[in-house]
Amino acid sequence: MSEKRKQEIHRIKELESINLATEDIREFVIETKKEVEKDNELLANQINNKLKNNGIKSIDIVGAIGAGKTAILEKIAEKISEKYRILVICGDITTRVDADRIEKHNVDTVQINTGRECALNAYHIHQVLKSKDLNDYDLIFVENVGNLICPSEFKLGTDKRITVVSITEGEWVIEKHPMLFKMSDIAVINKIDLLERLGTNLDKMVKDAKNFNPNIEVITISAKTGKNIDLLIEALEL
């Protein structure tokens, strides 16, 4: 991690902690949050090793509520569930709506309900994997809780992270959420079937993602029509 990025993370943590903590316990809150993140990262690394040792590819997908994460996973599953034995882990604060939707496409699912927590963390994934026979799968997807802020604090131990935004969220959505794009491998801009009607500035969105992370691959798709889903599958090397 670069020095600049470390400083940024530190600053954001400080600001968050200041909101939560009174003067007398502020240092303690900051230290505790750093410890939690460190433990999560250790566990995430263990998860990634375990999956790799079992020959399993893993991808997690984050984005706001309604960006189209589940719709994208449905379309991907439709195309590749003959080729891979797939497990999809879905995170939501409540319900198993998403798992039920995806399960129709010939994949196994586990729904995690996080209650008040606004993101999955490595411990959630660890618990699910403990209950599964990893010989049964070649590919694992994780759909995170719908949120563009909290998931940036917790790596899950996957090989790749996709961040999804949709053009209905407006052209400023990427500019306003630097952290997730910095830590993602692929940025998906969804719902391009609506582009003409909404007139969202797609070029700006692509540029913003690239500005934050020159290594990020940006793919514009429509999970509704299926446009460019093949490009996404190719980018995921599936």
User: Residue 185 interacts with ligand GDP (CB under 6 A)?
Assistant: no
Question: What is the sign of the dihedral through the CA atoms of 228, 78, 122 and 44?
Answer: negative
Are the C-beta atoms of 173 and 205 separated by less than 8 Å?
yes
User: Rounded to 5 degrees, what are φ and ψ at 175?
Assistant: -50, -35
How many Cβ atoms sit within 10 Å of the Cβ of residue 202? 16
Is residue 222 part of the contact set for ligand GDP (CB under 6 A)?
Answer: yes
Q: Is 146 in the site for ligand GDP (CB under 6 A)?
A: yes
Residues 30-89 that bind ligand GDP (CB under 6 A): 63, 65-71
In angstroms, give the least distance from the CB of 225 to Mg ion. 19
Binding to ligand GDP by residue 224, rule CB under 6 A?
A: yes
Query: What's the order of all strands across the beta sheet hosting 108-113?
Result: 108-113, 86-92, 139-143, 57-63, 160-166, 186-190, 217-220
Least Å distance, CB 98 to Mg ion, is 4
Q: Which does 91 bind (CB under 5 to 8 A by kind): Mg ion, ligand GDP, none?
A: none
Among 80, 153, 191, 219, binds ligand GDP (CB under 6 A): 191
Q: Provide CB contacts within 8 A for 34, sequence distance 6+.
A: 13
Q: Is 109 in the site for Mg ion (CB under 5 A)?
A: no
Q: Which residues bind ligand GDP (CB under 6 A)?
A: 63, 65-71, 146, 190-191, 193-194, 222-224
